Amino acid sequence: MGTTVEELIENFELFDSWEDRYRYIIDLGKKLPDMPEADKTEDNKVRGCMSQVWLTFSVDDDGAEGKRMHYVADSDAFIVKGLIGVLFEVMNDRAPAAVLEIDPADLMTRIGLENHLSPNRRNGFVAMVDKMKAAAQANL
**pTM for the full predicted model:** 0.92
Phi, psi angle pair for 77, to nearest 5°:
-120, 130
Q: How many CB atoms lie within 10 A of CB 71?
A: 22
Amino acid found at 78: F
Check: CB of residue 51 under 8 Å from CB of residue 77.
yes
Torsion sign over Cα 74, 77, 82, 87: negative
Q: What is the DSSP letter of 61?
A: E
Residue 28 pLDDT: 96
Residue 1 pLDDT: 52
Which of 8, 25, 46, 49 is flagged as catalytic? 49
Segment 77-135, tens digit of pLDDT: 999 999 999 999 999 999 999 999 999 889 889 998 888 988 888 889 999 999 999 99
Ordered by where they begin, the domains of the chain are 5-137 (3.90.1010.10)
Residue 4 pLDDT: 87
Q: Give the CA count within 13 Å in the CB-facing half-sphere of 89.
A: 26
Annotated active-site residue 49? The verdict is yes
